[in-house]
Every structure is written in C-alpha cells, then in structure tokens.
Structure 1
Amino acid sequence: MSLKVALEQLGYPCYHMVECFPKGPAHWKLWEQVGKSEPDWDAVFAGYTATVDFPACTSYAALAKYYPDAKVVLTVRDPDAWFQSVQDTIFGREWLEFLPGTEAGAYLQATINDYFDDRMHDRDHLVQRFHEHVAEVKSTIAPERLLVFEVSQGWEPLCRFLEVPVPEGDFPRINDTAAVQGVIRDVMDRGFQAALGYAG
C-alpha cells in the first residue's frame, strides 16, 4: 500500500486489490479469465498506469510481456514479517473459509490461492514461495527494467528508476492492517455488495 500511494503521488494511477474488489463480479470475471490464460489486460487496467500487490503480482511475467515498455518494481521485505502480515489479513483462516462460496471465490482462487498451492497457513511453504517469487522475478525481468526496492529506502531509488523528480515530503508509510481487517469483517457480516457498494 505504501508503494501504491507513492506511485499515485508521482502521477501513476495505481491498481490494487482495493480498486479490484469494489468493481464487483463483472470485473472479477476478468481475473477468472486471467486464470484460464485468456486475459484482457486492457480491460482490467483501464484508467490505470501502474499496478501493485494482489491480484496482479502473481501475473507479473505475463504483464511484463504484454507491456514491454513497463518498468517492474520488486518490493522486498522480511519474509517472516510478510507471513505474519498476510495471516493477520488476507490469509486469515475465517476469511479464507468464507470466500469459496462467494462470487469472489473463483477469481481469488485463480490469482492468489493457486499461486500458493492452497497452503495459505503453512509458514515454511509460504516463506519458500516468497523466496522463489523474488528469485523468479529477478531471473525473468531484464535488469534494466527491474528495481529491487525496500520501502525503507525512500524516494530516491524509486524516482531515479522511474526518471521523475523526487517529491517534497517523506515517502508514504502505510500500515493498513486494521483497515483491511475492518473491510474483511464488514464483507463477512454484510456481503460483498452491501459492504463495497458496487452496482448489482
């Protein structure tokens, strides 16, 4: 989320799960098509010039091929901290048990769960997949297109890579665990449409 906010501050409208969910089932079906290797990337990203995080990050190679002039930022962090973060939010047991019977279940299965072999609470497996993902991105993306980036590094390496001026002010530091937990609880209590407000 910190990178999303930073990219938007730099002038790149940025797609993230927080944009994906409120678009509703018709949009989610576009991600089901991605899972079937039938993507319509221009439809998915209409109005955006960047994307971060799920559901797009598990399709990074296909996206890099489809958008050959795009640059790729690989954010890295402590894998154990990442594991705990996702367990506290999007991989929480109650949430993952809730999703399969919902209209969002298929696209989340195709874009996230399959990527982790449905072993969402297996620390060793997820940390291994974390390391594999980092290695795969580094070996797949040409070095001149790739920035390996830690948010703690701040604006300078990101702006140098994107060839844009460094803005005034500190780099965004967004800790959105509580907000994500609140949205998840609202969806489980009231359903996707009522909680997110998309048209039926």
Structure 2
Amino acid sequence: MSLEIIGPGFGRTGTNSLKVALEHLGFGPAHHMFEVRDHPEQLPGWQALADGGHPHWETIFSGYRAQVDWPGARYWRELAAHYPDAKVILTVRDADTWFDSVQATIAKFMAGRGSYDDPHINGVAEMANKLIVDGVFDGRMFERSYATRLFNAHIAEVEASIPASRLLVFDVREGWAPLCAFLGVGVPAISFPRLNPSKQFISEEWTEGA
C-alpha cells in the first residue's frame, strides 16, 4: 500500500474532518498527528526526522493510503515527488481565523511539553515543536503577522508547485461535493464530518488522561 492522497494543509485547517471524510470514502487509513498520539511506536521515526534523519516514507506511512495534517504536511514537497501518482488535497481557511484557532489549541498543547503525566505525550509535543514551530515557522509560529504571512505563502507555493489536475484546494465548509468530484466517487448520504473544534481540542483530544 502506498499513499494515494497527500495533504499539505497546516493543522487547524480542517485536517481531522478531512481524515474522517477520506476514510469514509475508502481512502483510509489516513495519517494525522493523532496517529502519532495514538500509536507510540510511530514517535521514534518522527523524532529521528526532527533530529535531521533521512526519511523512509514506505516505513513511516506503512499501512496508510492518505496523509493529512502535520507532521506529514511538513514534508509535502518530498511526498509529492516520492508519490507522483498521489492526489494532493490542500485544506485552507482564512489566515487570521486559522491563527486564532492555533493559539487556542496547538499553541497550548506544545507549550505544555514536559508537563504532561504521559511521557509519550511529552515526546509528541517536543517532536512537534522541532518539526513545526522551528522547522516550518522558524520559531515564530505564535507571532500573528509572521505566521499568517507564511500561512498564505504556503498556500500560494503549493498552488504554484502542484499541477491543477492533481490538486484540490479545499475548504471543509464546502462539504462533500468538491472532494467527491475530485476523487471520482459518489457523494455519501450522510453529513460531512465537522470535527475538532477549538473548544474541544485540548480537553478532549490531547490532555484528558495524559
């Protein structure tokens, strides 16, 4: 099994909703940061990458048909080149709304590294700081003007780099129609998943029981 879907969209752009939608449509399992949270055996591979190691994508994504969210989105260029037949789905939203969501969720989680009862969760937070805060944002993820400029520049870079025939720029508020049309599948008779709102992210998704 190799990746059929690559998701370069930043976290907090509807990536968890896209994960669940893809899995419902038969393009799962889909890899998301929550997979690293839920499968501790995956963390060493991502820690090695964060420390400058060379990736072996078939090992890292073994058993997955899709990749969405960080940490995989950090390597969207490499993945798009390594899996040339994979479709690319870029999740987007308003930059300022995205930044506010990050501050209410990801920022709080990563700021807590070293303080969680579960050593694995501390390890995920440390890895995320290295790969995302430092690796993507040069340590400035929590500066609004810098982060929102980089967010918009990232969207523009993906759009300029991936052929239009291979790329879907997707706002999850659009629902099933554009996603299903892009993937060539029928529209399900259920509501599009709306998951991971900011108010639930910390208490329910990450630190409860950690």
Query: What's the TM-score once normalised by structure 2's chain length?
Result: 0.80
The aligned counterpart of 1:177 is 198
The aligned counterpart of 2:129 is 109
Shift in Å, 1:121 = 1.6
In 2, Cα distance between equivalents of 1:100 and 1:9 = 36
Q: Deviations over 1:144-172 (max 9, x none)?
A: 11011111222111111111111112211
In 1, Cα distance between equivalents of 2:156 and 2:53 = 23
In 1, Cα distance between equivalents of 2:133 and 2:103 = 13
The question of whether the paired residues in 2 share the 8 Å contact of 1:64 and 1:70 is answered with yes
The aligned counterpart of 1:21 is 37
Structure 2 unaligned blocks of 5 or more: 1-15, 116-121
In 1, Cα distance between equivalents of 2:158 and 2:38 = 29
Q: Deviations over 1:23-63 (max 9, x none)?
A: 22x42221233342511211221121011111111211111
In structure 1, the residue corresponding to 2:169 is in which secondary structure?
strand
Shift in Å, 1:119 = 1.2
Shift in Å, 1:106 = 4.7
- The aligned runs of 1:1-200 (5 Å cut-off) are 1-13=16-28, 14-24=30-40, 26-35=41-50, 36=52, 38-92=54-108, 95-99=109-113, 102-114=122-134, 115-182=136-203, 183-186=205-208, 195=210
Identity over aligned pairs, percent? 42
The question of whether the paired residues in 2 share the 8 Å contact of 1:30 and 1:40 is answered with no
The question of whether the paired residues in 1 share the 8 Å contact of 2:110 and 2:125 is answered with no
Deviating beyond 4 angstroms after TM superposition, the runs of 4 or more aligned structure 1 residues are none
Shift in Å, 1:105 = 4.9
Q: Which structure carries more helix by proportion?
A: 1
In 1, Cα distance between equivalents of 2:65 and 2:146 = 33
CA RMSD of aligned residues (A): 1.9
In 2, Cα distance between equivalents of 1:164 and 1:172 = 17
In 2, Cα distance between equivalents of 1:177 and 1:31 = 25
In 2, Cα distance between equivalents of 1:33 and 1:88 = 28
The question of whether the paired residues in 2 share the 8 Å contact of 1:17 and 1:54 is answered with yes
In 1, Cα distance between equivalents of 2:49 and 2:181 = 32
Query: What's the TM-score once normalised by structure 1's chain length?
Result: 0.84
> Bigger CA drift: 79-88 or 35-44?
35-44
Number of residues of Structure 1 aligned to a counterpart in Structure 2: 185
